[in-house]
């Protein structure tokens, strides 16, 4: 089956630093990748949709300059949290939609970010 | 606008019993898809089952079945013969026509007890 990986699985960083999270589709080409954020005991909140080779589409209320998304290839998208603050601490999950007409999205295992 | 509603924050079921997790939706898209995902404490999202809006029959995948009632806009998940490993958060989601994004409900925490 299709596999999506995320790296790192968890990260602790100091306030003011930047953190990059990678999302890779391992055995398929993903024309579209999605980035979600999830707080404890809450649902997934879509942050942005990225398409390979074009700028990401951000959801309302998500700061583009703070959450930089790059989808440089059909198998890799990155989310960079710039100048992280404690309120950015969260669980970040990516999903990838396979090129073609498939309905399914494949989720990565998530990255737990803690900003101290 | 798309909306998914899960009204059960928590559900409890005894092992080997069946349980139904409720999900209602609202959309103006003529074509849409409905999904159920399981999220254990590890955080990974596990795809369980999918129902297309034009599918005539209810979807089934092993112990999971989706009770799709289009006129009532409901897509309840039925888990038969519950197992202890079924204890997790369950999310109902809908995919509309725009960019393939998913809209998630708030989730239902299922606890299976021996």
d(C-alpha A104, C-alpha B29), whole Å:
18
For residues A21-33, one letter each, b for 16 or more C-beta atoms within 10 angstroms of the residue's C-beta and e for the rest, the string is bbbbbeebebbbb
**A12 — pLDDT class (breaks 50, 70, 90):** very high
A37 touches chain B (CB under 8 A): no
Model confidence band, residue A30 (pLDDT cutoffs 50, 70, 90): confident
Element (H, E) at A22: strand A19-25
**Phi-psi category of B94—alpha, beta or left, where left has phi over 0 and alpha has psi -120 to 50?**
beta
Would you state the structure tokens that stand for residue A104, as one six-digit string? 């399914």
| Pairs of CB atoms within 8 A across A/B | 48
As a whole number, mean pLDDT of residues A27-43 equals 91
Q: Which of A55, A94, A105 to mutate to test the interface with B (most CBs of B within 10 A)?
A: A105
Name chain B contacts of A95, Cβ cutoff 8 Å: 45, 102
Task: State residue A96's pLDDT score.
Answer: 92
- The predicted pLDDT at position A54 comes to 85
Q: What is the pLDDT of residues A67-102, one digit of tens each?
A: 999 988 989 999 999 999 999 999 999 999 877 655
């Amino acid at each position: 089956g299709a596999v999506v990986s995320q790296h790192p699985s968890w990260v602790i960083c100091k306030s003011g630093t930047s953190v990059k999270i990678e999302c890779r589709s391992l055995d398929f080409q993903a024309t579209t990748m999605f980035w979600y954020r999830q707080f404890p005991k809450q649902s997934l909140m879509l942050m942005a949709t990225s398409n390979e080779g074009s700028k990401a589409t951000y959801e309302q209320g998500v700061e583009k300059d703070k959450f930089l998304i790059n989808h440089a290839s059909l198998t890799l998208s990155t989310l960079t949290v710039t100048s992280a603050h404690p309120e950015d601490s969260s669980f970040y999950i990516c999903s990838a939609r396979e090129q073609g007409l498939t309905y399914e999205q494949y989720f990565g295992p998530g990255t737990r970010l803690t900003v101290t | 606008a798309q909306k998914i509603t899960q009204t059960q924050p928590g559900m409890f079921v005894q092992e080997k019993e069946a349980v139904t997790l409720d999900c209602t939706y609202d959309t103006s898209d003529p074509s849409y898809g409905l999904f159920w995902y399981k999220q254990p404490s590890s955080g990974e999202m596990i795809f369980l089952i999918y129902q297309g809006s034009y599918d005539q029959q209810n979807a089934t995948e092993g112990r999971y079945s989706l009770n799709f009632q289009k006129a009532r806009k409901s897509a309840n998940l039925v888990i038969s013969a519950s197992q202890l490993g079924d204890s997790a958060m369950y999310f109902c989601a809908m995919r509309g026509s725009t960019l393939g994004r998913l809209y998630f409900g708030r989730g239902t925490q299922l606890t299976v007890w021996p």
